[in-house]
Structure 1
Amino acid sequence: MGIRGFLSKPLAAYIVNDQKKWASRPAITQLKQFNNLISKAKNTAFGRDHGFSDIKNYNDFKKQVPIRDYEGLKPYVDKILAGESDILWPGKPAYFAKTSGTTSGTKYIPITKDSIPNHINSAKNALLNYVNETGKGQFLDGKLIFLSGSPVLDQKAGINTGRLSGIVNHHVPNYLRTNQLPSYETNCIEDWEEKLERIIDETLDQDMSLISGIPPWVQMYFDRIQARVNKPIKDIFPNFEMFVYGGVNFEPYRAKLFESIGKQVDSIETYPASEGFIAYQDTQTEPGLLLLLNSGIFFEFIPAEEYFDENPTRLMVDEVELDKNYALIINSNAGLWGYSIGDTVKFISKDPYRVVVSGRIKHFISAFGEHVIGEEVEKALKLTNQKFENVKVTEFTVAPQVTPNEGLPYHEWFMEFDNAPIDLGAFEKELDNNLRKLNSYYDDLLKGSILRTLKINTLKPSAFIEYMKSQGKLGGQNKVPRLSNDRKIAEALLPFCKQ
C-alpha cells in the first residue's frame, strides 16, 4: 500500500468518529446549524427583509421566510450580479455555479467561502467512510479520473462562474492532483465527444483505480474504450476497484456497466447538487445515503403531496416519517433560504438519518390525476427486467400521449435497448402490470377505461446521445429526465424511433 492509502486510515477513523457524534444528535445538530445561519445572515439584505433579528426559533422562521425556487430568489441574485454585497450572505459569493433553468434561463447559484467546505469535504468524507469500513485504501494510490465539466471559469460581476464540477476541480487537494486524470488541458475541452477521445488517449495506458462520474457518461467512456480495444475494462484497468457516482438512479445502468467492466467493483453513491452536497453513502452494508446534518445546511421537508399547496407543512428532520416522499428544502451558508432544489427524498432510516432520492417534484406524469413519479417508473422497469433477464435498457424517458390518432390516451415510453426484448408486447404488458401495482391511481384509470396500457417506442442506437447533443447537453453533469408531463422531449425523440 502506498503513502496515500496508508495515511487515509487514521484520517478516516477520525472523520467517522466525528460523524457518529453529530449523526446521533440530529435535532441538536440541525438547530445549531439553524441558529448559526440566522445569526450570520441577519444583517444581509435578505435577513433585513425577512426580519432575521426577530427570529427566535424555527416557527418564527417559517412565518418570516416563504418557500421559493430560483425564480423567487432571482431578485436577490440580480442584485449580486449588479455588484452589490451582503445580499444573501455576508460579502460576495466566491463563485456562481451555472446551471440550466426552466423559466429563467441560466441559473446562477451562489457558492460562498463558507459553503465551499460542504462541497469539498463531503466528497472526501464519502471516500473516507469506505476506507474506514473496509480497510481498503489502496485505490487512492492509483490513477483517479473524474468525468466532469470544464474547469474554465467566466466572470459575472467579478465573481468566478462555471459548472459546479468545474469549480470543484479547482479545489481538489494537492495530494491527489499528482494522480488525477484527465489533464487540466483536456478537462478544459468543451466539446464532450472530442474531450472523451482525449481522455481515452490519456488514460488507456494508465493504472486506473477510481473512476467517478454520472453513470451514462461513464458508460459512454467505457463503450468508446472498448471500440478501440476489444477487451473488458477489467483487463484494461486491472486495478480498477472503485466507482463513485451520483446524479441519477444507478439501477437502470448497473447491469450494462458491470458487464462492460467484466467484474463487480465496489461503488459509492453521492448526492451533490449546485445548491449543496446533500448526502453520501456511508456504508457498504445498508441502503440509503447519510443526510449531512453538520455541513452548513439546515434542512426542511414538505410532504410531496402538499408541495403545491398555498401553506404546505414544513418539517424539521426529527419530524419526518419513514417511507414517505418529501420535497427537499434547504437553507444554507451559500445564502439560500427556504429554497426548493426540486428533488424529492424518502427516509429509509432514522438511526442515522438516511435517504434515497425518489424523484423530481416537477418530473411526473399526471395528465389525468395519476401522478406517476420517477421512483415508480424506475422500480417498474427493474421488476420487469428481473423477469426478462436478457433485456438490457440503455436509457429511457416517459411522456403522456393525450391526443393519439386513435384510441384512448396512454403513457408513451421512449426506450433505447442494448439488447431488446424478443417479444416487445410481452415486455410492455409486464411493465404496465408492474406500474399498476405501484401506482393505484394509474391502475384505476386503466380499469375505468380512461387510459389504455402503455406503449414503448424503440429508439435507434445512440438516440439519447444524439438527442442530448442536439440540446447542447452532451456529457458533464447533464442527464435525461425520466418523466415529463408535456411532449417536448417526446416530440424531439420521435425522429429517432425505429420504424
Structure 2
Amino acid sequence: MGIRSFLAKPIASYIASGIRKWSLDPVGSQQKVFDQLLAVGKNTAFGKDHDFGSIKTYEDFRARVPIRDYEELRPYIERVLHGERDVLWEGKPAYFSKTSGTTSGIKYIPMTRASVVHQFTSSRDAVLNYVHETGNASFLDGGLIFLSGSPVLSEKAGIKTGRLSGIINHHVPAYLRTNQKPSYATNCIDDWEEKLERIIDETLTADMRLISGIPPWAQMYFDRIHARTGKKIKDVFPSFSLFVYGGVNFEPYRAKLFESIGKPVDTIETYPASEGFIAYQDSQTEPGLLLLLNGGIFFEFIPTEEYFNEKPTRVGIEDVELGKNYAVIINNNAGLWGYSIGDTVKFVSKNPYRIEVTGRIKHFISAFGEHVIGEEVEKAMKYTMEKFPGVELVEFTVAPHVTPTEGLPHHEWYIEFAKAPGNLEAFSQELDNQLRQLNVYYDDLISGSILSRLRIRDMRRNAFIDYMKSQGKLGGQNKVPRLSNDRKIASALGAL
C-alpha cells in the first residue's frame, strides 16, 4: 500500500461522515445556503434591483426574482465584462468559464473563488466517498488522467477566462500533480487529435489506474491505444480500476467501452457544470447521483411541462416528487439568480436526495406534438441493445424528417456502430417499438399514420468525430446533442 492510498482512507472516512451529516438534513442545508446567498446578494446591483433587503422567505424570493436564461441575464454579465464591481456578486469574479451556447453564442459564466473551490472539492469528495464505500484506494498510488480542455486562460476585463476543465486544472493540489497525466504542455495543445497522440505517448508506459473524461472521448483514447498496440486496455494498464465520467448518459457507450477495456472496472458518474457542481454518484449499489445541497447552490425546480408557461410552478427541494421530470434552476455563490441551466432531471430517491439527468429542456423532438425527450431515446436504445447483445455503439443523434421525398414524415436516427446488428431492419423495428412504449404521443402518431416508424442512417466510421471536427468542437468537454427539433445536425452529418 502506497502513502497516498494509506492516508486516503481516514480522510475518506471523515469526508463520508460530513456528507452523511448534511444529507440527513436536506431542507436545513438548503435554508443555510439560501440565507448565506441573500446576505451577500443584497449588497449587489442585482440584489438592489430585486429588493433583496426585504426578502424573508423563499416565497418572497420567488415573487421578486424571475427565472432567467443566459440571454435574459446578459445585461448584468455585460456590466461585469466591462469591469463593473458588485454587479451579481461581491467584487469581481475570479474567472469566467467560457462555454458555447446553442442560441447565445459564446457564454461567459462568472465563477468566484468559493464556487471554484466547490468544483474541486466536489470532485475530490466523489472519489473519496468511493474509497470509503469500497475500500479501494490503490488507484491513488498510480497514474491519474483527466481528458480535458486546455488550461490556457485568456482575460476579459482583467478576469481570467477559459474552459471549466482548464480552470479547474489550475486548482489541482500539488500532491496529485506528481502522478497526474497528461503534462501541462500536452494539455495546452489545442488540436484534439494531436493532443490525444501526445497523451498516448505520455501514458502508454505509465501505470495508469484512474481515467476520467466524457465517454466518447475516452473511447477515442482507448481506440487509438488499441491501434498502436493491438491490445485491450487491461493489458496496457493492468492496474486500471476506476473510470470517472460525466457530461453524457453512460449507458449507450457502456458496452463498447468495457469491451475495449477488456474487464469490468468501477465507475463514478459526476454532474459538473460551469454554473456549479450539481451532483455525483455516491453509491456503487444505489441508483442516481447525490444532489449537493450544501455547496453554495440553492436549487429550484420547475416541472418540465410548465417550463415555457408565463408563470411556471417553482418548488424547493422539500416539494419535489419522485419520478417527475424537472428543469433545474440554480441560485449560486457566483451571482447567478433564478438561472436556468437548461438541464432536466428526475428524483429517484428522497433519502438522500438523488437524481438522474434526463436531458436538456430545449433538446427534444416535437415536430408533430410527440415531445420525445433525451431520456426516452436513450432508454429506447438501451433496451434495444439488450435484445441485440452483439451490437456496439459509437454515437448517435436523432432528428425529425418532416418532408421526406417519399412516404410519411418520420424520425431519423443517425447511428455509428462499432459492431452493427446483423439485421438492421429488425434492430430498427425493435428500436421503434421501444420508443412507442416509452412515449404514448409518439405511439399515437404512428398508430394514426401521421408518422411512419423511425429510420436508421448507418453512419460510416468516424462520422461523428469528423462532424465535431467540422464544428470546431472535437475533444474536451464537447458532446453531440442527443436529439434536436430541426435538421441542422442531420444535414451536416448527411453531407459527410
TM-score (norm 2): 0.99
Report how far residue 468 of structure 1 moved.
0.2
The residue correspondences of 1:12-91 to structure 2 (distance < 5 A) are 12-91=12-91
Letter matched to residue 182 of structure 2? P
Distance 2:169 2:116 in 1: 12
Query: In the alignment, what sits opposite 2:417?
Result: 417
- After superposition, give the CA deviation of every residue in 1:37-70 in whole Å (9 maximum; x if it has no partner): 0111101010001110011010000010000110
Distance 1:299 1:135 in 2: 32
Distance 1:103 1:252 in 2: 27
Letter matched to residue 56 of structure 1? K
Query: In the alignment, what sits opposite 2:355?
Result: 355
Report how far residue 421 of structure 1 moved.
1.4
Query: Secondary structure at the residue paired with 2:322?
Result: coil
Report how far residue 386 of structure 1 moved.
1.0
Distance 2:107 2:331 in 1: 17
Query: In the alignment, what sits opposite 1:372?
Result: 372
Query: Secondary structure at the residue paired with 1:155?
Result: strand
Q: Does 2:180 correspond to 1:180?
A: yes
Query: In the alignment, what sits opposite 2:223?
Result: 223
Q: Does 2:310 correspond to 1:310?
A: yes
Report how far residue 128 of structure 1 moved.
0.6
- After superposition, give the CA deviation of every residue in 1:241-267 in whole Å (9 maximum; x if it has no partner): 110000000000000001101100011
Q: Does 2:235 correspond to 1:263?
A: no
Query: Secondary structure at the residue paired with 1:144?
Result: strand
The residue correspondences of 1:263-412 to structure 2 (distance < 5 A) are 263-412=263-412
Distance 1:12 1:72 in 2: 41
What residue ranges of structure 1 are gaps of 5+ in the alignment?
none
Letter matched to residue 476 of structure 2? G
Report how far residue 390 of structure 1 moved.
1.1
Letter matched to residue 433 of structure 1? N
Q: Does 2:115 correspond to 1:115?
A: yes
Distance 1:341 1:382 in 2: 26
Distance 2:237 2:101 in 1: 38
Distance 1:227 1:8 in 2: 36
Query: Secondary structure at the residue paired with 2:425?
Result: helix
Letter matched to residue 194 of structure 2? E
Query: In the alignment, what sits opposite 1:148?
Result: 148
Q: Does 2:457 correspond to 1:457?
A: yes
Letter matched to residue 231 of structure 2? K
Report how far residue 117 of structure 1 moved.
1.7
Letter matched to residue 318 of structure 2? D
Letter matched to residue 362 of structure 1? K
- After superposition, give the CA deviation of every residue in 1:399-427 in whole Å (9 maximum; x if it has no partner): 00001112110001000011111211111
Report how far residue 394 of structure 1 moved.
0.9
- After superposition, give the CA deviation of every residue in 1:171-210 in whole Å (9 maximum; x if it has no partner): 0011101000000000000000000000000000000010
Query: In the alignment, what sits opposite 2:233?
Result: 233
- After superposition, give the CA deviation of every residue in 1:296-355 in whole Å (9 maximum; x if it has no partner): 000000001000000000000110000000000000001100001000000000000000
Letter matched to residue 336 of structure 1? L
Bigger mean CA deviation after superposition, 381-390 or 82-91: 381-390
Identity of aligned residues (%): 71
Report how far residue 119 of structure 1 moved.
0.3
Query: In the alignment, what sits opposite 1:193?
Result: 193
Report how far residue 104 of structure 1 moved.
2.3
Report how far residue 158 of structure 1 moved.
0.2
Query: In the alignment, what sits opposite 2:495?
Result: 495
Letter matched to residue 109 of structure 1? I
Query: In the alignment, what sits opposite 2:132?
Result: 132
Query: Secondary structure at the residue paired with 1:166?
Result: helix
Distance 1:346 1:134 in 2: 27
Distance 2:73 2:177 in 1: 36
Letter matched to residue 398 of structure 1? V
Distance 1:175 1:114 in 2: 21
Runs of 4+ in structure 1 over 2 Å off: none
Letter matched to residue 223 of structure 2? D
Distance 1:184 1:196 in 2: 13
Query: Secondary structure at the residue paired with 1:114?
Result: helix
Query: Secondary structure at the residue paired with 2:495?
Result: helix
Letter matched to residue 294 of structure 1? N
- After superposition, give the CA deviation of every residue in 1:455-485 in whole Å (9 maximum; x if it has no partner): 0001110000000000000000000000100
Query: In the alignment, what sits opposite 1:244?
Result: 244
Q: Does 2:486 correspond to 1:486?
A: yes
Query: Secondary structure at the residue paired with 1:115?
Result: helix
Distance 1:113 1:453 in 2: 51
Query: Secondary structure at the residue paired with 2:308?
Result: coil
Query: Secondary structure at the residue paired with 2:114?
Result: coil
Report how far residue 118 of structure 1 moved.
1.4
Report how far residue 136 of structure 1 moved.
1.1
The count of corresponding residues between Structure 1 and Structure 2 is 496
Report how far residue 103 of structure 1 moved.
2.6
Report how far residue 495 of structure 1 moved.
2.4
Distance 1:482 1:85 in 2: 39
Query: In the alignment, what sits opposite 2:434?
Result: 434
Distance 2:123 2:447 in 1: 47
Letter matched to residue 185 of structure 1? A
Letter matched to residue 44 of structure 2? T
Query: In the alignment, what sits opposite 2:446?
Result: 446
Distance 1:407 1:138 in 2: 58
Distance 1:452 1:104 in 2: 34
Distance 1:59 1:227 in 2: 59
Letter matched to residue 71 of structure 1? E
Distance 1:101 1:270 in 2: 21
Bigger mean CA deviation after superposition, 3-12 or 215-224: 3-12
Letter matched to residue 248 of structure 1? V
Distance 1:37 1:429 in 2: 52
Query: Secondary structure at the residue paired with 1:71?
Result: helix
What residue ranges of structure 2 are gaps of 5+ in the alignment?
none
Report how far residue 102 of structure 1 moved.
2.4
Distance 1:164 1:264 in 2: 30
Query: Secondary structure at the residue paired with 1:211?
Result: strand
Report how far residue 212 of structure 1 moved.
0.3
Query: In the alignment, what sits opposite 1:160?
Result: 160
